[in-house]
Amino acid sequence: MNEWMNYEQFDRQEWHSFFPTDTVRLSQDNLDEIKSLNDRISIEDVQDVYLPLIKLLQLRFQNHLEWQMQKANFLHQKSERVPYIIGIAGSVAVGKSTIARLLSILLNKLLPDKRVELMTTDGFLYPNAELKRRGILDRKGFPESYDMEKLLRFMNDIEAGKTVVKAPTYSHQVYDVMPDQPLVIRQPDILIVEGINTLQLPSSQQIYVSDYFDTAIYVDADAEQIEKWYLQRFGMLLDTALTDPDNYYYSYSQGPREEAFKMAKNVWQTVDLPNLTDYILPTRNRANIILHKTANHVVDRIYLKRG
């Protein structure tokens, strides 16, 4: 069966026409904030792709608020503040966290009185020591390398409106979880949850993480493109490691660069690519929205689930 049959597909021109963004004036501060997030994000992409996307998310958010009110009325309950949760899935290095941060900047701009928070599921990976103990250090990122029960409990606490919820964090530089640096989340109106595993069904569980999502976005691109982005990011990680002996990549940064890149290419081929093919890509059509990227991270197609 055609896996796209329940999606409508738009090229960026048509997508842009749904929300001509001349109506939204991004201030110099907004532009500076976006540039400091990533100076290679093009303002055309923001105008053509991300602002219409934000408009759509805003409509779905309003719908969510309305539904919470109607539901509380129906059940004769007091209306509680239930956060609106956006999930972002896709391969390692496809640009999920960059898009998540961009969306949070734009949501703050369009909804200045709403609290928008952002987190990644990387912090729910088992620590390296535990992965080693289980003999799966080379399976980092695969479903079994995450503490999914802990992630589901986190999602449940957020949805239940708990006043303070802590999320563990992960550092690419240290290449491990950072148990002493949790992210503290305080009753957001909107929470963006980004991670490779956000649309997966945890093994031995009946609940998907995405059961908690109000909108799920999948960031898509051809594997050969993503490999390039992975290696580019590896180059940047090497550069920052050069003078930092505590950095995981320090030893690689001291030797010949070709050797380091050979190692990274091997990790992509033996770990992240099989993970994409076997476990991440098969979750793509659970998303409400698929953003397809081509060279230089340019979004060329947008898919919107029918219904």
Ligand X SMILES: CC(C)(CO)[C@@H](O)C(=O)NCCC(=O)O
List residues binding ligand X (CB under 6 A): 92, 122, 140-141, 170, 196, 267, 271-272
Residue 160 annotated as lining a ligand binding site = no
* Residue 297 interacts with, from ligand X, ligand ATP, none (CB under 5-8 Å by kind): ligand ATP
In the complex, the smallest distance separating the C-beta of residue 162 from ligand ATP, rounded to whole angstroms, is: 26
CA distance 272 to 241: 21
In the complex, the smallest distance separating the C-beta of residue 120 from ligand ATP, rounded to whole angstroms, is: 7
* Residue 123 interacts with, from ligand X, ligand ATP, none (CB under 5-8 Å by kind): none
In the complex, the smallest distance separating the C-beta of residue 268 from ligand X, rounded to whole angstroms, is: 7
User: Which residues are near ligand ATP by CB under 6 A?
Assistant: 38, 40-41, 90, 92-98, 196, 229, 232-233, 236, 297
Angstrom CA distances, 98 to 131, 154, 266, stand at 27, 22, 24
Q: Amino acid letter at 265? A: K
Nearest residue to ligand X by CB is 141
Nearer to ligand X, 111 or 127 (CB): 127
Strands (DSSP E) along the chain, which ranges?
7-11, 84-90, 116-120, 165-171, 176-185, 190-194, 215-220, 289-294, 298-305
DSSP state of 146: B
Residues 84 and 189 sit within 8 Å (Cβ to Cβ): yes
CA distance 99 to 90: 11
Chain center to CA of 215: 12
Nearer to ligand ATP, 131 or 196 (CB): 196
Nearer to ligand X, 24 or 136 (CB): 136
In the complex, the smallest distance separating the C-beta of residue 235 from ligand X, rounded to whole angstroms, is: 14
Nearer to ligand ATP, 38 or 266 (CB): 38
Residues 261 and 269 sit within 8 Å (Cβ to Cβ): no
- Write the Ramachandran bin of 125: left for phi over 0, alpha for psi from -120 to 50, otherwise beta: beta
In the complex, the smallest distance separating the C-beta of residue 299 from ligand ATP, rounded to whole angstroms, is: 8
Residue 253 annotated as lining a ligand binding site = no
* Residue 38 interacts with, from ligand ATP, ligand X, none (CB under 5-8 Å by kind): ligand ATP
Residue 92 annotated as lining a ligand binding site = yes
Sign of CA dihedral 29, 46, 15, 193: negative
* Residue 267 interacts with, from ligand X, ligand ATP, none (CB under 5-8 Å by kind): ligand X
SS3 letters across 202-244: CCCCCCCHHHHCCEEEEEECCHHHHHHHHHHHHHHHHHHHCCC
Residue 140 annotated as lining a ligand binding site = no
Binding residues for ATP: 90-97
